[in-house]
């Protein structure tokens, strides 16, 4: 698995399960601490609802949890190793006492996104829904790790723009297509090559690689422990792990 640090401190294609303190602040919201779960950029259909701000700010949550809330967005082809890296990273964070969880593409399509297919429109809606869940977790102070192909750059950038600066860490799992296809843990590439699955990302549907991810990892060159260690190192360097007694947030982009 090789690693490049680019920033400092239709039929059915599953998303891929790869191998592989003080008192709370006053109730007045602090404009310097944008809420990750504020009103959605798309806005509600009804004009008769009002977004209700809570009394607990990000600094108080950080003191309570011992770290900042953040999203680690793993994106890459099916079979690239996203889910495997995500689960190992989750385990290592939990072992360190971090409030962490994984949102996995296949798992989300068994529930919240069970009504969606794999058309371009459904893929966008899938990521929009997941993005809203991610924002809620980050606002609650969790480190949420996502494992989604998320093929469209615009969808990923839209989520980043909706979140507080520095709270989304995009990790491109840049494993070569030929390696992903050779792994083929669920036989999806074989089915796609045989014409049994249409619009398969990387073959007959596009994958738009990130232009400026925080990290780039190749799981054909990096072992699982090393890949998760690279992400952990970034979290430490970015100041996301630790109580942040001065009230600092994550670094901006």
Q: What is the pLDDT of residues 193-219, one digit of tens each?
A: 999 999 999 999 999 999 999 999 999
Strand order in the sheet with 70-75: 3-4, 215-217, 168-173, 70-75, 143-147, 100-104
Give the whole-angstrom CA distance, residue 229 versus residue 25.
Answer: 34
Residue 103 has pLDDT above 90, yes or no: yes
| Greater model confidence, 185 or 60 | 185
Give the whole-angstrom CA distance, residue 5 versus residue 18.
Answer: 23
Give the whole-angstrom CA distance, residue 166 versus residue 63.
Answer: 18
Structural domains of the chain, ranges and CATH numbers in brackets: 3-18+62-237 (3.40.50.300)
pTM of the model: 0.78
Give the whole-angstrom CA distance, residue 122 versus residue 104.
Answer: 17
Region of 129 (left: φ > 0; alpha: ψ -120 to 50; beta: rest) is alpha
Question: Given pLDDT bands bounded at 50, 70 and 90, which one contains residue 38?
Answer: low
The pLDDT of residue 78 is: 96
Question: Given pLDDT bands bounded at 50, 70 and 90, which one contains residue 10?
Answer: very low
Number of CB atoms found within 10 A of residue 31's CB: 6
Residue 40 has pLDDT above 80, yes or no: no
Q: Which of 37, 80, 150, 167 is catalytic?
A: 150
| Distance of alpha carbon 248 from the chain centroid | 22
Give the whole-angstrom CA distance, residue 245 versus residue 66.
Answer: 10
Percent of the chain with pLDDT over 90: 63
Question: Given pLDDT bands bounded at 50, 70 and 90, which one contains residue 122?
Answer: very high
| Greater model confidence, 92 or 46 | 92
Residue 150 annotated to the active site: yes
pLDDT in tens, 46-63: 777 777 677 767 887 888
* Residue whose token pair is 């989300």: 108
């Amino acid at each position: 698995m090789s690693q490049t640090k680019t920033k400092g401190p239709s039929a059915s294609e599953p998303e891929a399960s790869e191998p592989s303190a003080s008192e709370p602040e006053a109730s007045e919201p602090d404009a310097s601490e944008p809420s990750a779960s504020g009103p959605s950029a798309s806005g509600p259909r009804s004009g008769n609802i009002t977004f209700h701000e809570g009394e607990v700010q990000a600094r108080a949550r950080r003191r309570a949890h011992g770290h900042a809330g953040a999203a680690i967005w793993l994106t890459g082809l099916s079979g690239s190793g996203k889910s495997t890296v995500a689960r190992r990273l989750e385990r290592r964070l939990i072992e360190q006492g971090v409030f962490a969880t994984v949102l996995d593409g296949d798992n989300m399509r068994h529930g919240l996104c069970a009504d969606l297919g794999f058309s371009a429109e459904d893929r966008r809606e899938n990521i929009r829904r997941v993005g809203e869940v991610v924002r809620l977790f980050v606002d609650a102070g969790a480190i949420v790790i996502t494992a989604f192909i998320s093929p469209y750059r615009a969808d990923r950038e839209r989520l980043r723009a909706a979140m507080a600066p520095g709270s989304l860490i995009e990790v491109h799992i840049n494993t070569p297509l030929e390696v992903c296809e050779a792994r083929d843990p669920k036989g999806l590439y074989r089915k796609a090559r045989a014409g049994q699955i249409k619009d398969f990302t990387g073959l007959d549907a596009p994958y738009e690689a990130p232009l400026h991810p925080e990290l780039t990892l190749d799981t054909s060159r990096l072992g699982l422990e090393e890949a998760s260690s690279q992400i952990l190192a970034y979290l430490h360097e970015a100041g996301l792990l630790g109580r942040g007694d001065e009230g600092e947030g994550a670094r901006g982009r």
